[in-house]
Amino acid sequence: MNVPAELKYTKEHEWIRVEGEEAVVGITDYAQSQLGDIVFVECETVGDALEAGETFSDLYLPVAGEVLEFNEELEGEPELVNKDPYGKGWIVKIKISDETELDGLLNADAYKAII
Q: pLDDT by residue (tens digit) across 20-42? A: 999 999 999 999 999 999 999 99
What is the reported pTM?
Answer: 0.95
Cβ distance 114 to 108 under 8 Å? no
Kindly provide the b/e burial profile for residues 101-110, where b requires at least 16 CB atoms within 10 angstroms of the residue's own CB. Answer: beeebbeeee
Q: Reduce the DSSP state of residue 34 to 3 states and report it.
A: helix
Please report the pLDDT score of residue 57 as a whole number. Answer: 84
Nearest to 24 by CA among 55, 77, 67, 73: 67
Q: pLDDT by residue (tens digit) across 34-91? A: 999 999 999 999 999 999 999 988 899 999 999 999 999 999 999 999 999 999 999 9
